[in-house]
Amino acid sequence: MEIRLVEERDYLRVLEILNESIAARKFTAQLSPATMEMRKDWFIHHSAPRHPMYVAEVDGKVVGWVTLTEFRAGREGFRFTSEISYYLDSHFHRQGIGSMLMQRAIEAAREIGFRNLVAVVFDTNISSRKLVKKHGFRLWGHMPEAVDIDGNLIGCDYWGLKIEK
At 98 the pLDDT is: 95
pLDDT single digits (tens) 86-108: 999 999 988 899 999 999 999 99
H helix runs in 46-115, sequence order: 97-112
At 47 the pLDDT is: 84
Return the CATH fold of 2-116. Aminopeptidase (3.40.630)
The domain locations on the chain are 2-116
DSSP secondary structure string, 13-30?
A: HHHHHHHHHHHHTSS-S-
What is the torsional sign of CA 57, 164, 156, 47?
negative
pLDDT single digits (tens) 14-51: 999 999 999 999 889 999 999 999 999 899 888 888 99
